[in-house]
Amino acid sequence: MIEKINAHIKEVEAYNATTKDAIEAFRIKYLSKKGLLNDFFAEFKNVPNDQKKAFGQAINTLKNAAQNKVNELNASLETNTSASAIYGDLTRPGEPATIGSRHPISIVKNQIIDIFSRIGFNVSEGPEIEDDWHNFTALNLPEYHPARDMQDTFFVQTDPDILLRTHTSSVQVRYMENNQPPIRTISPGRVYRNEAISARSHCFFHQVEGLYIDKNVSFADLKQTLEYFTTEMFGKSKIRLRPSYFPFTEPSAEVDVYWGLETETDYKMTKGTGWLEIMGCGMVDPNVLENCGIDSKEYSGFAFGMGIDRIALLLHQTSDIRLLSENDIRFLEQFKAVL
């Protein structure tokens, strides 16, 4: 009989269950009034006196093992139920992670950087909080120069010499101060101007400005560079240069690309002319070179600048510049397929 009890003890210790019904059936089998333990206790009177002690110890061991096993299984089941309540069905396939997308400004900026990097332009960056010298004076805009009114500026009230940069030309000044020709660099970044916010303008926007300085650089070199850029960026190589004025370049020009008149949108964007203005450019004024410590008699160069926001609106047929800074997920999700 003792061997039979020991066999049940091993069975109890090896038992496992994952449902309440199975645990309850196990409890009834051993611990209920009609369970095996009561049967063994009933047999106690028939056990010889010299075996009663061992028999009683075996019954108590079986009882404790059964009770401990029931407690252990119930605790395990409660833990699993709690985890399921928190995390749901742990066997269910997980939800796919939402994939983000690059901002349209970043997409266009990276395209521009890639295009110019193929012809040897590196990338230079500078501070957005700038001083008067790098933002204006070094660029042939001395104090009280009327051309300063072309750029409505955010000045820092505690120091009138400190301002939020109005163009990334300030980065070019810093680069020329610390590097000797030949120089071939582009300067992408955010700029600030005190303008009313509307569908066509904002108080902050993004620019990419380019600078090339070397011996015997001519306006023809500038035109070839711009034709290369428009072909790579827009797939259109026909451009025109219209005379313009910028304080830091002489001569200066506005650059138009022939967009065409194939759709109604083309008519709206180009106002029926087929031509679309994309940037300003010109030969670097000798005064700017001298201000930056470069001999203007030995070196010459050209510069150009374009608005990244304007090109992004153009390429993605968007009519409101405010969409680029409002972080509307419905708008930004449209660019998931764009690298």
pLDDT per position as a tens digit, 21-40: 888 887 887 777 777 777 77
Separation of alpha carbons 62 and 242, rounded Å: 101
If phi > 0 it is left, if psi is from -120 to 50 it is alpha, else beta; for residue 337 that is: alpha
- Give the mean pLDDT of 112-116: 96
Separation of alpha carbons 27 and 21, rounded Å: 10
73-76: long-range contacts at Cβ-Cβ below 8 A with a sequence spacing of 24 or more?
73/16, 73/17, 73/23, 73/26, 74/23
Greater confidence (52 vs 176) lies with 176
* The one-letter amino acid at 217: V
Average pLDDT over the chain, rounded to an integer: 85
* Three-state DSSP class for residue 16: coil
pLDDT per position as a tens digit, 141-175: 877 767 677 777 888 877 778 999 999 999 999 99
- DSSP secondary structure letters along 97-112: PPP----HHHHHHHHH
The confidence band for 76, taking pLDDT boundaries of 50, 70 and 90, is: confident
pLDDT per position as a tens digit, 229-261: 999 998 888 899 999 999 899 999 999 999 888
Q: What is the pLDDT of residue 169?
A: 93
Q: What is the pLDDT of residue 147?
A: 66
The confidence band for 92, taking pLDDT boundaries of 50, 70 and 90, is: confident
Q: What is the pLDDT of residue 87?
A: 57
Q: What is the pLDDT of residue 248?
A: 92
